[in-house]
Amino acid sequence: MAAERFDLFMAKANAAYYGAQEFAHDFATAPEMTQVFGELLGAWAQTAWRMMGAPEDAILVEAGPGRGTLMADALRTWPDPPPVYFLETSAKLRDETRRRVPQARFIYDLIDLPEKPTILLGNEFLDALPVRQFVKRRDGWMERWVDQGAYIERPVDVMLPDDRVGSVRELNEAAFSFCAELSRREAIALFIDYGPMNSAPGESVQAIRHGRPADPLAFPGEADITAHVDFAEIKRRFHAQGPVKMNAFLTALGLFQRTDALALTNPEAAGELRAAARRLTAPEAMGSLFKVIALCPKDFPPLPGFEE
């Protein structure tokens, strides 16, 4: 098997993983923890739509919907929503999403969306897009390729910071291309994902297989491979609000108030609901690790959760 650049290896491995017939969620995601998460994002999307001027031809999109849990909860807050599209390539996940959102329409690529006012939600989507990896050596930057289950390095002419020898840099060109298309459409797009607030050197690629950490190169197609999102670079390249920490964002949207209201009407689930809210906001858990950023047209008013 010929050597291939790491980002191409990652793209193929993840495509096989998410397309597997026996797909299993190896990461615990926020929508699966509590219905409040999706409800808050549904209310956020509806507010964004109104701030756009409530266009009658708007469309609502979710990128990487998983089993469709987030959107099913989101639509509970929006009884008469615009047409709903899902960017999902896995046939199995499309079937699961369709069961939860019967009116779903599916696309394979962002360019397949109609040219209409767009609101897009993406929870833990950008982290799964492939990254290129570079290692600083004495003679300059080398790019990582994969050959027979191991890294090899090849020289590359690329503009990167003058880091110390041995430093690793990751470049998520796929995420930047995705954001560029959204910006061209002047869409409003909300992304919730994990990564540092500021750009920094470091190797963040990780893999989870059967709920446990795994070697990203060892089981291609059998593990979920992800990398940190470079929020600062997205902010630098595109018009965006944020990033802000997820705990601040969800708290501003009313996470605890909605959780308390649900707990009162569902006392048997009160403990589970409140535990999920704590996990989503605790600084030592998901609250600080996850960040939130919103792409929007230039000079767009502050969106909910991004007010000063």
| pLDDT of res. 23 | 52
pLDDT at 293 over 70: yes
Mean pLDDT score, 219-244: 96
At residue 244, φ and ψ (nearest 5 deg) are -130, 160
Q: Tell whether the model's pLDDT for residue 1 goes beyond 80.
A: no
In this structure, what are the phi and psi dihedrals at residue 302, rounded to the nearest 5 degrees?
Answer: -60, 130
* CB of 39 closer than 8 Å to CB of 74: yes
pLDDT at position 21: 53
**Does pLDDT of 24 surpass 70?**
no
Tell the burial category of 286 from Cβ atoms under 10 Å away from its Cβ (0-12, 13-18, 19+).
Answer: buried
**In sequence order, what are the beta bridge partners of 293?**
191
Instruction: Sketch the domain layout of the chain as residue ranges.
Output: 25-130+174-210+224-295
Tokens encoding 53: 């001027």
**Report field, pTM of the whole predicted structure over 0.85:** yes
CA 258 from centroid of its chain's CA atoms? 23
Angle subtended at Cα 306 by Cα 303 and Cα 308, rounded to the nearest 5 degrees: 120
**Span 32-91, pLDDT tens digits:** 999 999 999 999 999 999 999 999 999 999 999 999 999 999 999 998 999 999 999 989
Task: With CA atoms as reference, report the closest residue to 158 among 191, 179, 133, 182.
Answer: 133
Query: 16-20, 223-227, 297-301: which has the minimum mean pLDDT?
Result: 16-20
Q: Is 191 helix (H, G, I), strand (E, B) or coil?
A: strand
Nearest 5°: phi and psi at 136? -80, 120
Q: Which residues contact 29 (CB under 8 A, 6 or more apart)?
A: 66, 123, 124
Report residue 15: phi and psi, to 5°. Answer: -60, -40
Structure tokens at 37: 């998460």
Alpha-carbon gap, residue 217 to 203, rounded angstroms: 14
The domain 25-130+174-210+224-295 having CATH identifier 3.40.50.12710: the answer here is yes
